[in-house]
Amino acid sequence: MLDLRLYLVTDTGMTRRHGLDATLRAAVRGGVTVVQLRDHDASDREFVALGRLALAALRGTGVPLILNDRVRLVEEVGAQGAHVGQSDLDPVRAREMLGHTAYLGLSCHTQDQVTAACALPTGTVDYLGLGPVWATSTKADHAAPLGPDGLASLARASTLPAVAIGGVDASRLASVRAPGVAGVAVVSAVCRAEDPALAARELRAGWGASVEVGG
């Protein structure tokens, strides 16, 4: 089961302070429940190496590793799934490549995208990433911010569990809590933190009870 409460998206530059493996170990100690490895600038070879480093850091924790976009590398890395955006691989094709046991997430920014995602064959997508809620510097080409009301509207339209992403930190958790929002996805709030374990612990404590989805 996939626990979406605190979903960490990595940033290779931000994790250099402590190192990717140390950052992930600390974040998981603090309560991170899912890790997505994201590095658009890495070559496939570099990305596989990062993936294996991340997987080693997560081994034995029960926290799954999700690869951003590069569905073709999930098996080589040994990851537990992938996450695709609207301009990435078609989710039906991604599911065909992944098989039925891996997790698959899909980013959505509009009502039409959410409606289309929910109309996909059952079992294609496990969860949605909804955002950005607020403007964020971690993704330069992000869509227009939804704001908390826009997020709530998309979550209401979804039959799939969702995580809120984009500018989320501990001070904004109450603003993104809405029916259908199973958790929050963060990047800099943990990756840039002086103490990633403490940052994750504060986020987990602020979010609260578990919501799990099958994969």
Give the CB-side neighbour count of residue 18, counting CA atoms within 13 A.
19
Burial of 23 (0-12, 13-18, 19+ CB in 10 A): buried
| Residue 190 and residue 19 in contact, taking contact as beta carbons nearer than 8 Å | no
| Cα–Cα dist 103/84, whole Å | 11
Nearest to 24 by CA among 206, 168, 190: 190
Q: Is 63 annotated as a binding residue?
A: no
Query: Tokens 């490895």 identify what position?
Result: 37
Give catalytic status of residue 5 as yes or no: no
Is 139 one of the annotated binding-site residues? Answer: yes
114 is in an annotated binding site: no
> Which residue of the set 5, 25, 38, 95 is catalytic?
38
Consult the annotation and say whether 187 binds a ligand: yes
Q: Is 87 a catalytic residue?
A: no
Catalytic, out of 5, 107, 158, 201: 107
Q: Does 124 count as an annotated binding residue?
A: no
**Catalytic one of 5, 70, 139, 201:** 139
Catalytic annotation present for 158: no
90 assigned binding-site residue: no
| Known binding positions for Mg(2+) | 69, 88
* Catalytic residue list: 38, 107, 139
| Known binding positions | 68-69, 88, 107, 136-139, 167, 187-188
